[in-house]
Amino acid sequence: MTLQTNGTILDSATIDTPVGPFTILAGPDGAVRAAGFTADPAVVLAVMHPSLRGESRQRRELGPVTAAVAAYLGGDLTAIDDVPVRQHSGGAFMSHAWQMLREVKPGQPVTYTGYAALAGRPAAVRAAAAACARNAAALFVPCHRVLRTDGKLGGYRWGLPVKEWLLAHERRG
């Protein structure tokens, strides 16, 4: 699969986690543009909005971004909270919903209904679910903290075992 890029150079780093490799793509400004539980930067690039894509350059680490992930994995569950994220949403609700998702505390997951309410549109449960589905910055925009209305896990782009591990890790913290 060939993806169009905009000529920007993106820095890429892959970190080993207890549930497998985690790859982060960051822009020249250091903001995370996409991240996911895979060793393949091309897979992460594919979930990024086309306007933010660039050529990926592999790095050993990304300074404060990879340090924040290491701290999170080590038990400092708020270490990722201040990492800048840049996503393209195509609309005000999606951007706002992603920001509200970053305010869901570790160990305190919400349902899609609760998430819709947090985003200011209690009846927009499907829109809240779409915000989770379109989120390219896994972990940093913690869509893993959203559960089905019946309290079950629901889906997760990077697999339910990863979502289960993240939720259990945050409960332990």
* Statement: the pTM of the whole predicted model exceeds 0.95: no
Q: What is the pLDDT of residue 58?
A: 79
Class of the domain covering 92-172: mainly alpha
Between CA 45 and CA 77 the distance in angstroms is 25
pLDDT of 113 > 80? The answer is yes
Architecture per CATH, 8-73: 2-Layer Sandwich (3.30)
Q: Do domains 8-73 and 92-172 have the same CATH topology?
A: no
Between CA 162 and CA 30 the distance in angstroms is 25
DSSP 44-81: HHHHS-GGG-EEEEE-S--THHHHHHHHHHTT-TTTTT
Structure tokens at 139: 């972990």
The yes-or-no answer on residue 132 being catalytic is: no
Which of the following is catalytic: 10, 68, 83, 143? 143
**For the chain, which residues make up each domain, given as ranges?**
8-73, 92-172
Q: What is the pLDDT of residue 3?
A: 44
pLDDT digits (tens, 9 = 90+) for 142-170: 999 999 989 899 889 999 999 999 999 99
**Average model confidence (pLDDT) across the chain:** 91
Query: Could you tell me which residue, 2 or 112, shows the higher pLDDT?
Result: 112
Strands 146-147 and 32-36 turn out to be unpaired
